[in-house]
Amino acid sequence: MKSFDLQRRKLLYCGFLSLGAFVGNTLLPSPLKASSLSASLAARGRLLPPDHNGVCLPVGFTSRIVARSGEKLFGYTWHAAPDGGAVFAASKGGWIYVSNSELDDKKGGVGVLRFNAQGDIVDAYSILSQTSRNCAGGHTPWQTWLSCEEIDKGRVWECDPFGQKTAQVRNSLGVFKHEAVAVDTHRNQLYLTEDESDGCLYRFTAQTVDAAGNANLDNGFLEIAEVIGGSIGKVRWHHLPDPLATKTPTRKQITRATPFDGGEGIWYHQGNIYFATKGDNRVWAYDTRLSLLSIIYNGALHFSPVLSGVDNITGNNAGELLVAEDGDDMQIVVLADNKVQPLLQLVGHDRSEIAGPAFSPDGSRLYFSSQRGKSGRNEDGVTFEISGPF
């Protein structure tokens, strides 16, 4: 960490940082223009000093730790290096939080916390094991979790959060250094990011859907994006000739494909795909109806940006984006109402990253992990729950 960054953290400790940069309201997709400022998470105000768990929160919010790496919960040892996550509604008003484990050498996988309607943890178990660097992923509308391997020959595994079905590898989604997935529920298309300095944006189109509306992820085609004429604007999609990358990496198979500097989290909302790139500290928006790409946040435009180290992304029903930081001030930052403001900050976790933000089905609780905790070691990950007037 550079010395000026450390000074900045001391000066702005748990406070509201100066505004970052939205790149022009005209480029901002309508879901990010909240109708009422009072209803926006970006209007929650300054962060209070850290609570007993080391979390700085706005007035009215509270935190609790729901799991620690190495802790035994209902026979399952909560995994090290917790990363991407999602929430699924369960029976009798309960819910399930799934969390990836980003460990190398087939020591990764996916673990689950199950909550009852009152928010008590009632079970914990594994739904995927013996995979490598399960980084982020994405939930599907048919109630499965797509867990992404962030390795050169990484694949996507479709997992059952309820633990009833065996996880299945989905080769049609390509073999590359996968980061995250978002599903366009109207078109049965999946968008995928790639964690390489010259990574690409991919789209999978399912050609068959069953009677229940579930897309067949073994029957479809994978494409790669070309932004025509520059870094933003109209997007053209090219079929990948070899999604399994048997001879050539997927990102190098189409010469006209547009590179993105370190693809990270991705999220879909009302016809728009939002994704982050860590190499240039940007958040992008792709309008699926117009095939138009724009930049909605660019940290390079300000000397001291609010949001740095962009990583996992989630959103609420209003369409506001929540972006987790990898390092920097260890915050989850809200992008909405032409504001860029921290929703929370972890203190003392400087050698970690925030990962796996996801809301409970009713939107009243937010889950996320500090991947390496205060020590900076994978074995010391911590998973949090935030409650409050979201």
Mean pLDDT (whole number) for 214-241? 95
Beta bridge partners of 281: none
Confidence of residue 38 (pLDDT cuts 50, 70, 90): very low
Asked whether residue 4 carries a pLDDT value surpassing 80, the answer given is no
Pair of tokens at residue 83: 């990363």
Task: Determine how many CB atoms are found less than 10 A away from the CB of residue 164.
Answer: 7
- Give dist(CA 240, CA 293) in Å, integer: 20
Mean pLDDT (whole number) for 78-91? 98
Full residue range of the structural domain in which residue 176 is found: 3-387
- Give dist(CA 151, CA 101) in Å, integer: 13
> So what's the pLDDT on residue 45?
82
Asked whether residue 8 carries a pLDDT value surpassing 50, the answer given is no
Which residues are CB-contacts of 104 (< 8 A; sequence separation ≥ 6)? 132, 133, 151
What total of structural domains would you count in the chain?
Answer: 1
- Give one word for 54, left, alpha or beta, with left for phi > 0 and alpha for psi -120 to 50: left
- Give dist(CA 154, CA 151) in Å, integer: 5
- Give dist(CA 34, CA 319) in Å, integer: 8
Query: Which residue type is seen at 215?
Result: A
- What ranges in 13-70 are assigned the alpha helix state H? none
- Give dist(CA 105, CA 94) in Å, integer: 34
> So what's the pLDDT on residue 177?
98
Mean pLDDT (whole number) for 260-288? 97
Task: Give 327-361 pLDDT, tens digit per residue.
Answer: 999 999 999 978 899 999 999 999 999 999 999 99
Question: Residue 366 class from Cβ within 10 Å (0-12 exposed, 13-18 middle, 19+ buried)?
Answer: buried
Ranges 6-15, 134-143, 300-309, 369-378: which has the least confidence = 6-15
Asked whether residue 312 carries a pLDDT value surpassing 60, the answer given is yes
pTM: predicted TM-score of the whole model, two decimal places: 0.92
For the CA atoms of 136, 138, 139, 145, what is the dihedral angle to 10 degrees?
-50
Confidence of residue 32 (pLDDT cuts 50, 70, 90): low
Asked whether residue 13 carries a pLDDT value surpassing 80, the answer given is no
What CATH number is associated with residue 177?
2.120.10.30
Cα three-residue angle 347-68-312, rounded to 5 degrees: 60
Task: Give 135-194 pLDDT, tens digit per residue.
Answer: 999 999 999 999 999 999 999 999 999 999 999 999 999 999 999 999 998 888 999 999
What average pLDDT is seen over the chain?
Answer: 91
